[in-house]
């Protein structure tokens, strides 16, 4: 998945990172073509065929293109790629997501510069400052991504999950935001769950599931308490409306019946059964006494 993500990012950045390079090459090519045409017309009209001139033109072509590539590539490496319309939309979505979780602008900017590392830090900071002045339209950004291919859409979701994984907790607020983006860019819930599960396997905790487990444990605890009390009534052979005096009387009667001293001389199996029953009666009495607060 990480390799796929890296390839997606490289594919997205290719056109932006070479815009300047293409412009430079085009300009030099036009100049060379015009120069070659002028010399060709001159030779044709005046019937002058200068070998040295042709060599010079060939050298011009041979030097122009490599030189333009070198300087444009040097410019790109120094200044980084420029943001396209798609990239700005992805940036705006990531910014909106970070803004709801963090309040420190420097921390948000640093995170964005790390996420969009192939771009110029200055360009990233400029776009960030623009967003702090005018809040980006999340729905407009999602609409732009909606018209792109699935690789771009997955890249957006991967980016948001990367941010969420920083603190290893997929909070309810993050889940709501990502689900909104997911729906707006046209990704099905089942498809997204497959992406999310890859992060869960690496340790990402879902707050929703944690709360569900806590609720289930609480519900089970209440059920166990009720069941234990109900079972205790059955063991002592009494009803929930029993009084304190009646409870003590029922307990003493059964305790005397199953007390180990009453079964001295019997075989080991009978003695063990009596001890287990005596312990059960005692525990049932304690459960009801605590439940009734006697």
pLDDT, residue 232, reads 84
DSSP assignment letter at 260:
G
Number of domain units in the chain? 3
pLDDT in tens, 46-83: 555 555 555 555 555 555 555 555 555 554 444 445 56
Q: What is the pTM of this model?
A: 0.53
**Do 107 and 51 sit in the same domain of this protein?**
no
- What does the alpha-carbon distance between residue 220 and residue 226 come to, in Å, rounded to a whole number? 10
How large a percentage of the chain has pLDDT more than 90?
27
The residue segments making up the domain with residue 33 are 14-79
Is residue 218 in a domain?
yes
Alpha-carbon torsion angle 189, 190, 195, 198, nearest 10: 130
**Do 108 and 28 sit in the same domain of this protein?**
no
Of 153, 173, 203, which one is at a domain's C-terminal end?
A: 203
Is residue 2 in a domain?
no
pLDDT at 2 over 60: no
Of 171, 203, 235, which one is at a domain's C-terminal end?
A: 203
Average the pLDDT over each of 47-56, 148-157, 170-179 and give the range with the smallest value: 47-56
- Per the CB < 8 A criterion, the answer to whether 206 and 200 are in contact is yes
Question: Given pLDDT bands bounded at 50, 70 and 90, which one contains residue 214?
Answer: confident
- Per the CB < 8 A criterion, the answer to whether 44 and 184 are in contact is no
């Amino acid at each position: 998945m990480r390799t796929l993500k890296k390839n997606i990012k490289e594919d997205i950045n290719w056109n932006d990172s070479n815009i300047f390079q293409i412009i430079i090459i085009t300009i030099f090519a036009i100049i060379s073509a015009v120069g070659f045409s002028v010399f060709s017309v001159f030779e044709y009209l005046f019937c002058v065929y200068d070998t040295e001139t042709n060599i010079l033109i060939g050298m011009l072509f041979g030097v122009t293109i490599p030189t333009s590539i070198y300087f444009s590539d040097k410019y790109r490496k120094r200044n980084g790629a420029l943001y396209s319309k798609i990239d700005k939309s992805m940036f705006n979505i990531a910014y909106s997501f970070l803004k709801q979780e963090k309040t420190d602008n420097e921390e948000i900017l640093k995170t964005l510069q790390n996420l969009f590392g192939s771009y110029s830090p200055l360009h990233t900071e400029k776009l960030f400052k623009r967003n702090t002045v005018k809040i980006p339209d999340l729905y407009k950004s999602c609409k732009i991504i909606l018209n792109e291919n699935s690789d771009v859409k997955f890249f957006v979701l991967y980016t948001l999950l990367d941010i969420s994984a920083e603190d290893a907790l997929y909070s309810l607020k993050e889940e709501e935001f990502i689900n909104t983006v997911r729906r707006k860019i046209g990704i099905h819930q089942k498809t997204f769950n497959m992406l999310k599960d890859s992060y869960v396997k690496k340790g990402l905790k879902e707050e929703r599931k944690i709360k569900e487990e806590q609720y289930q444990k609480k519900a089970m605890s209440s059920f166990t308490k009720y069941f234990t009390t109900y079972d205790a009534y059955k063991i002592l052979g009494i009803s929930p409306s029993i009084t304190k005096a009646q409870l003590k009387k029922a307990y003493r009667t059964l305790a005397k019946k199953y007390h180990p001293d009453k079964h001295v001389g019997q075989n080991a199996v009978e003695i063990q059964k009596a001890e287990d029953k005596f312990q059960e009666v005692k525990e049932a009495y304690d459960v009801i006494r605590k439940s009734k607060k006697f």
